Amino acid sequence: MPLMTRKEYMESLRKVKKRVFLGGEEVESYVDHPIISPSIHSCAMTYELSHQPEHAELLTAVSNLTGERVNRFTHLHQNTNDLVDKIKMQRLLGQKTGCCFQRCVGMDGFNAVDSVTFEMDRALGTSYHGRFRDYLTMIQKNDWVVDGAMTDPKGNRRLGPAEQEDPDLFLRIVERKSDGIVVRGAKAHQTGAVNSHEILVMPTQTMREADADYSVCFAVPADAPGLLYLYGRQSCDTRRLEEGTMDVGNAVFGGQEAVIVFDNVFVPWERVFMAGEYPFTSILVERFAGYHRQSYGGCKSGVGDVLIGATQAIARIQGLEKASHIKDKLIEMVHLNETIYSCGLACSCEGKATASGTYLIDLMLANICKLNVTRFPYEISRLAQDIAGGLMVTMPGEKDLQHPEIGAYLEKYLRSAAAYSTEERCRMLRLIENLTLGMGAVGYLTESMHGAGSPQAQRVVIGRMANLEAKEKLARKLAGAEAKG
């Protein structure tokens, strides 16, 4: 059965010899680096849960390509149950890690590329779909993590790819050979890239005829020659270099982002799934974005569960759990969080089969889901900070609490309800800080705003699919004021 264990995943990464840079230095062993390793532990949960009997059904699926049970993160959705289980799985992982677990972008990329390559072959007589399914079969058999790489640096946003002063600001084909292509450029904001075995590249936006060289989709090993990983900084990340666990908030798990530089990377033809077919970039971007906007209904509600739980706990510790206004704020947090989850389920239940047989979510509802996500986690976080109080950001550190002279003062003056220890209070406050201001806020807040497209991107799709004319006809008919002519 092609299902790696947590330990096997960790060991497999040691064989992927990436060039990773962090803090101006090349990292010798990225798997063991204290800033990077928490994100690897988060991703490893996608393996660990797949072997737990109570979660195996949710974390795995029977592949339509091999007939074997595979990790759901490598699966092509075959029905609406698959789409719903995806959301339930993501919520579970958000609850278990309290952060981004980094494997969703590749899964969403697989499902988009599968249906689009099928339709491209049918329209153009190309052979991309067979190549892609051969590639995905390999991924499933190895149970590899694949980074979905879509976002380009973009340069001057007023200009298209071919109009940029520097042509490499969008990733492009710079040479076509008999055995493959050579690409150059970069992909930004790459979630979990350093934790991946493979990189699946997709175009970042709709392309025009002049942008044919930028209309490219392919996959490369994560340690292919010419790839560089520039690890992104996160707020409070150097706390992970300190002794102790309290001040990081989430001691075990974390997320990661990186810029990937493609410095004349060679891609053999069997790994190329689009090379110049610019009319199909629009549908590929739209479907990938739809799948990824669906994903946020699961992962963000899972992390939201953790934040709500931490807020409930700190209310108890500080003696506020019976105050009516605290209860009301917690109810509002739950209401917002379940609304996010409901949207993720709704767009899944309304999914339909594409021509390739892979199921696509309802695009309108997926965009509604993501637009809610650009707002609701921020309000949940505001309410959490309201209940937590200012000590969350003014509290001395763990070493101060342990200091032989001043520790006793902090133990005395930071104590709240007698039933709870000072350390318990401080740890819960640090977790809330992590999720709303620190490292965890990258995956919970900033990613909620900008991941899978910023709010305006969802509004564009919603406006295009709103069918306001049909709604006007409904109103006119009921009002007896039907339009003439």
User: Where among 246, 263, 280 does a domain terminate?
Assistant: 280
Same domain, 126 and 98: yes
Same domain, 169 and 308: no
Same domain, 315 and 347: yes
Same domain, 188 and 311: no
Q: Is the pLDDT of residue 215 over 70?
A: yes
**Residue listed under structure tokens 């917002």:** 336
User: What integer is the mean pLDDT of 390-398?
Assistant: 97
In a domain, 485, yes or no: no
Is residue 420 among the annotated active site residues? no
Q: Which of 75, 129, 189, 292 is catalytic?
A: 292
In a domain, 115, yes or no: yes
User: What integer is the mean pLDDT of 223-252?
Assistant: 96
The CA distance from 321 to 417, in Å, is: 11
Q: Is the pLDDT of residue 109 over 90?
A: yes
Q: Roughly what angle, to the nearest 10 degrees, separates helices 455-465 and 363-373? A: 150
**CATH code: domain of residue 308:** 1.20.140.10
Is residue 447 among the annotated active site residues? yes
Is residue 292 among the annotated active site residues? yes
Q: Which domain holds residue 334?
A: 283-473
User: What integer is the mean pLDDT of 195-204?
Assistant: 98
Q: Which of 299, 343, 347, 426 is catalytic?
A: 299
User: What integer is the mean pLDDT of 303-313?
Assistant: 98
**CATH code: domain of residue 197:** 2.40.110.10
Report the mean per-residue pLDDT for the chain.
Answer: 97
In a domain, 1, yes or no: no
Predicted structure pTM score? 0.96
Same domain, 166 and 27: yes
Q: What is the structure's pLDDT at 484?
A: 77
User: What integer is the mean pLDDT of 288-308?
Assistant: 98
In a domain, 481, yes or no: no
Q: Which of 43, 99, 104, 347 is catalytic?
A: 104
Same domain, 137 and 238: yes
Q: What is the structure's pLDDT at 483?
A: 82
Q: What is the structure's pLDDT at 15?
A: 96
- Better-predicted residue by pLDDT, 2 or 198: 198
In a domain, 147, yes or no: yes
Q: What is the structure's pLDDT at 127?
A: 98
Q: How confident is the model at residue 1 (pLDDT cuts 50, 70, 90)?
A: low
Is residue 163 among the annotated active site residues? no
DSSP of 14-38: HTS---EEETTEE-S-TTT-TTTHH
User: What integer is the mean pLDDT of 449-456?
Assistant: 93
Is residue 369 among the annotated active site residues? no
What kind and span of H or E run contains 216? strand 216-221
Contact (CB, 8 A) for 226 and 263: yes
Percent of the chain at pLDDT > 70 equals: 100
Q: Is the pLDDT of residue 485 over 90?
A: no
Q: Which of 257, 277, 286, 398 is catalytic?
A: 257
Number of structural domains in the chain: 2
Q: Is the pLDDT of residue 289 over 80?
A: yes
Q: Which of 9, 229, 296, 444 is catalytic?
A: 296
Is residue 257 among the annotated active site residues? yes
Phi, psi dihedrals of residue 355, rounded to the nearest 5°: -65, -30
276: exposed, middle or buried (Cβ count in 10 Å: 0-12, 13-18, 19+): middle
Give the gyration radius of the chain's Cα atoms. Answer: 24
Q: Which of 74, 117, 191, 204 is catalytic?
A: 191
Same domain, 253 and 320: no
Same domain, 108 and 169: yes
Same domain, 304 and 268: no
What distances in angstroms separate CA 228 from CA 22, 43, 100, 173, 217, one per listed residue? 11, 21, 22, 18, 19
The CA distance from 68 to 428, in Å, is: 43
Q: Which of 43, 100, 217, 347 is catalytic?
A: 100
In a domain, 30, yes or no: yes
Same domain, 43 and 70: yes
The CA distance from 84 to 82, in Å, is: 5
Is residue 347 among the annotated active site residues? no
For 312-369, how does the pLDDT look when each residue is reduced to its tens digit (9 = 90+)? 999 999 999 999 999 999 999 999 999 999 999 999 999 999 999 999 999 999 999 9
User: Where among 222, 245, 280 does a domain terminate?
Assistant: 280
Contact (CB, 8 A) for 96 and 86: no
Contact (CB, 8 A) for 204 and 150: yes
First-to-final CA distance of the chain: 64
Same domain, 449 and 348: yes
For 455-474, how does the pLDDT look when each residue is reduced to its tens digit (9 = 90+)? 999 999 999 999 999 999 99
Q: Can you tell me whether residue 160 is helix, strand or coil? A: coil
In a domain, 89, yes or no: yes
DSSP of 277-332: -GGGHHHHHHHHHHHHHHHHHHHHHHHHHHHHHHHHHHHHHTT-TT-HHHHHHHHH
For 377-386, how does the pLDDT look when each residue is reduced to its tens digit (9 = 90+)? 999 999 999 9
Contact (CB, 8 A) for 165 and 155: yes
Same domain, 159 and 104: yes
Is residue 104 among the annotated active site residues? yes
User: Where among 280, 299, 329 does a domain terminate?
Assistant: 280
What kind and span of H or E run contains 150? none
For 9-61, how does the pLDDT look when each residue is reduced to its tens digit (9 = 90+)? 999 999 999 999 999 999 999 999 999 999 999 999 999 999 999 999 999 99
In a domain, 376, yes or no: yes
